[in-house]
Amino acid sequence: MTENTKRVAVVPGDGIGKEVIAQAVNVIRAARAAVDFTEFDWSADRYLKDGTTIPPDGFSMLSRDFDAIFVGALGDPRVPSNIHAKDILLGMRFKMDLFANVRPVKCLDDSLCPLKNVRAGEIDFVVVRENTEGPYVDVGGVFKQGTPDEVAVQEDVNTRKGVERVIRYAFDYARRYGRKKVLMSDKSNVMTYAHGLWQRVFKEVAGDYSDIASQHMYVDALCMHMVRDPRQFDVIVTNNMFGDIITDLAAALQGGLGMAASGNIHPGRTSMFEPVHGSAPPFAGKNIANPFGAILTAATMLEYLGFEAAAAKINAAVVEAVRQKKTTQDVGGDLGTREAGQWIAERVAG
């Protein structure tokens, strides 16, 4: 391990998470990036074995000892409460304050584009999802549970600090990557208090970025436009819950959930990288899951760690694999998870 070696904590997690992360780690090794991996078994298996979701000092250890965290997926039907996913995945996002969930939406080949009259190269935008607030904060409760008078409340928490920093991140991202427009999406016509705050802060922050255009769109209309004409989007910033939903929709514009990558970022801090998809229990253990979302995520992580050349090589190899149909079945090929991963690793190494 040299001075410049980056330390990455790997949490493969559950289901297909384990399979796709194994391939993505191989690809990083093939790219010969100076990365030292330490694997953690935090998962449904571990939880069912000894009740551990994440050890008590887990988050401080991750921040102290690692430059990045690479996660597969968490979620298992044997843990219906999803408590381990909440503690581990949402724990990292919230307790490590990874406030910007950056989810690029790029269609890599015409064969993956589900829309008529739209070319792959025309689908190229990024969703910046607020990642530490909203209904995800677990403020709420139930009252008179199990009676006809039962009440359930789940609060949508939005703070000026939280809203402002993610909107600024979106504008800074636009500047850094030569994007021209930031669109903020909310439902302020109904969520007048919570999203009224988003409206006010967005207008204020946009004023500081006169070189970047700003636009607003209600989230329902955004869903319609994403399918009718995704060419119009550049950077979209939105709240936690809407960001979750629209990035599954956006994944369909990229060839499906198997192709979508993401980073959970706090600039300058240990950040976490994971594919957008979940553990896909029906696919688990069958060598059919698409590893490209995880491999593209690995490239995003390498870029964050300063290994731009390795990241570019990996991205180029994935584009070529899709073009040559050296892929899993969901995106038109006939390879298994391992074989598709191996193809990328060989190309990257070569």
Q: Say which amino acid occupies 112.
A: L
Applying CB under 6 A, which part among 10-18, 84-92, 168-176, 291-299 lies near ligand IPM? 84-92
Query: Whole-number minimum distance, CB 33 to ligand IPM, in Å?
Result: 25
CA dist 287 and 110 (Å) reads: 25
Question: Does 136 participate in catalysis according to the annotation?
Answer: yes
From 140-148, 236-244, 255-263, 334-342, give the range in contact with Mn ion by CB under 5 A. Answer: 236-244
Catalytic residue among 14, 67, 234, 244: 244
Contacting range for ligand IPM; rule: CB under 6 A; set: 46-54, 83-91, 113-121, 201-209? 83-91
Residue whose CB is nearest to ligand IPM in the complex, by number: 244
C-alpha span between 164 and 41 (Å, rounded):
36
Comparing CB distances to ligand IPM, the nearer of 8 and 280 is: 280
Amino acid at 46: R
CA torsion angle 214 216 219 223 (round to 10): -60
Alpha helices in the chain, H assignment, sequence order? 16-30, 44-50, 58-65, 83-85, 91-95, 160-176, 194-206, 219-228, 240-252, 292-304, 308-323, 337-349
Is residue 91 involved in binding ligand NAD (CB under 6 A)? no
Q: What are phi and psi of 235, to 5 degrees?
A: -125, 130
Catalytic residue of the set 45, 124, 172, 248: 248
Interaction residues for ligand NAD, span 311-340 (CB under 6 A): 330
d(CA 70, CA 41): 12
Tell me if 102 contacts ligand IPM by CB under 6 A: no
| Contact yes or no for 171/185 (Cβ under 8 A) | no
Interacting residue with ligand IPM among 85, 166, 206, 317 (CB under 6 A): 85
* Least separation in angstroms between CB 279 and ligand NAD: 4
Count of other CB atoms within 10 angstroms of residue 163: 25
Nearest distance, CB of residue 288 and ligand NAD, angstroms: 7
Active-site residue 220, yes or no? yes
Examine residue 184 and tell whether it contacts ligand NAD (CB under 6 A): no
Positions 244 through 283 that interact with Mn ion (CB under 5 A): 244
Given Mn ion, ligand NAD, ligand IPM, none, residue 255, with its beta carbon under 5 to 8 Å by kind, binds none
Taking contact as CB under 5 A, which single stretch among the options 192-200, 222-230, 242-250, 297-305 is the one that binds Mn ion? Answer: 242-250
> In the annotation, is 36 catalytic?
no
Among 89, 126, 318, 322, which residue sits at the site for ligand NAD (rule: CB under 6 A)?
A: 89
- For the record, the structure tokens of 41 come out as 């078994």
Does position 109 interact with ligand IPM (CB under 6 A)? The reply is no
Find residue 271's DSSP bridge partners: 68
In a 3-state reduction of DSSP, which class is residue 332? coil
Closest to 276 measured CA to CA, from 8, 7, 20, 3: 20
How near is the Cβ of 261 to ligand IPM at its closest, in Å?
Answer: 12
Q: Which of 32, 30, 36 is nearest to 8 (CA)?
A: 36
Q: Closest by alpha carbon to 244, among 164, 93, 131?
A: 131
Which residues have a catalytic role annotated? 136, 187, 220, 244, 248
What residues make contact with ligand IPM under the rule CB under 6 A?
75, 85, 89-90, 244, 276, 278
